[in-house]
Amino acid sequence: MTDDELRASYEDRDRVVEMLRVAAGDGRLSAEELHERVEHALGARTYGELSVLVEDLPAGQSGMGTPAKPKDMLRIHRYGAGARYVGRWTVPKRIEVSVTGGSVLLDFTEAIITQPSLLIAATLMGGSLTLITRAGIVVDTDEVALVGSNVKAREHPDAQAPVLLRVEVTGQVTGGSINVRPPRPPRRTFWEWLLRKPARPAITAR
């Protein structure tokens, strides 16, 4: 996979939009060109789509910046403790999880995804691994060996979305659990509960 094919993040889009605005302020782009390019930048999915928007500008001659490469490997070792990866963390190519009597949470709802696949090698002894997915993330746990353990996998409501990331989980779980699920809907406030209003719908990350 080339750099142009890597997925762009919110920060990458914002950087290109700022470059376009500066170019328009310098008189290099008309108002119509600025509007059109900003619209394309906000909808861009890869670095290649962003690069073409600034390649004819002086700021773009040096490139929009090569994306930071994700780590090849992330090792998570916990003994009687927990680990949480939430918010805008960068998904590596491979994650090794070794947990004894602890828990690990990998929340992909806002994670930065720069490659199409992820391998998770898990060794759990009385511990748990939870994956929170979003639309476009497919998780395969068929290769996990279970000893007195269980795997619970719930499909995301938007199961027909284009595949953004394929996650393969392998390894062995002894007296523990793996849980794959979409984000939970926001809890009702006290007044919503008091007035018996229905819970607010969950916000689906784009």
Chain mean position to CA 48: 19
Handedness of CA 13, 203, 132, 169 (dihedral sign): negative
The pLDDT tens digits of the residues spanning 50-66 come to 888 888 887 655 455 54
Does the predicted TM-score (pTM) go above 0.75?
A: no
- Residues 97 and 177 reside in one and the same domain: yes
Evaluate whether residue 97 is within a structural domain: yes
- Residues 78 and 56 reside in one and the same domain: no
- Percentage, residues of the chain above pLDDT 70: 82
Evaluate whether residue 195 is within a structural domain: no
Domain range enclosing 151: 73-181
Closest CA to 125 of 147, 144, 93: 147
Question: Are residues 166 and 118 in contact, defined by beta-carbon separation less than 8 angstroms?
Answer: yes
Question: Are residues 174 and 126 in contact, defined by beta-carbon separation less than 8 angstroms?
Answer: yes
Question: Are residues 180 and 131 in contact, defined by beta-carbon separation less than 8 angstroms?
Answer: yes
Domain count, the chain: 2
- Residues 77 and 177 reside in one and the same domain: yes
Q: Which residues pair with 96 in a beta bridge?
A: 75, 121
- Residues 52 and 82 reside in one and the same domain: no
pLDDT of the residue at 205: 47
Evaluate whether residue 142 is within a structural domain: yes
Q: How many angstroms separate the CA atoms of 13 and 20, rounded? A: 11
Evaluate whether residue 133 is within a structural domain: yes
The pLDDT tens digits of the residues spanning 1-17 come to 666 778 888 888 888 88
- Residues 51 and 78 reside in one and the same domain: no
The pLDDT tens digits of the residues spanning 110-122 come to 888 878 899 999 9
- Residues 99 and 123 reside in one and the same domain: yes
pLDDT of the residue at 60: 58
Query: Considering the chain, what is the average pLDDT of its residues?
Result: 84
Evaluate whether residue 186 is within a structural domain: no
Q: How many angstroms separate the CA atoms of 70 and 112, rounded? A: 9
The pLDDT tens digits of the residues spanning 158-189 come to 777 788 889 999 999 999 999 999 998 766 66
The pLDDT tens digits of the residues spanning 25-45 come to 778 888 888 889 999 989 888
Evaluate whether residue 68 is within a structural domain: no
- Residues 85 and 166 reside in one and the same domain: yes
The residue ranking higher by pLDDT, 117 or 67, is 117
Q: How many angstroms separate the CA atoms of 98 and 81, rounded? A: 11
Evaluate whether residue 124 is within a structural domain: yes
Evaluate whether residue 198 is within a structural domain: no
Q: Which residues pair with 171 in a beta bridge?
A: 122, 144
- Residues 79 and 145 reside in one and the same domain: yes
Judged on CB neighbours under 10 Å (0-12, 13-18, 19+), 95 is: buried
Single-letter amino acid code for the residue at 175: G
Closest CA to 117 of 146, 84, 93, 83: 93
- Residues 47 and 89 reside in one and the same domain: no
pLDDT of the residue at 64: 53
Closest CA to 80 of 99, 98, 97, 95: 99
- Residues 27 and 114 reside in one and the same domain: no
The pLDDT tens digits of the residues spanning 103-160 come to 999 999 988 887 889 999 999 999 999 999 998 899 999 999 999 999 999 988 877 7
The residue ranking higher by pLDDT, 94 or 184, is 94
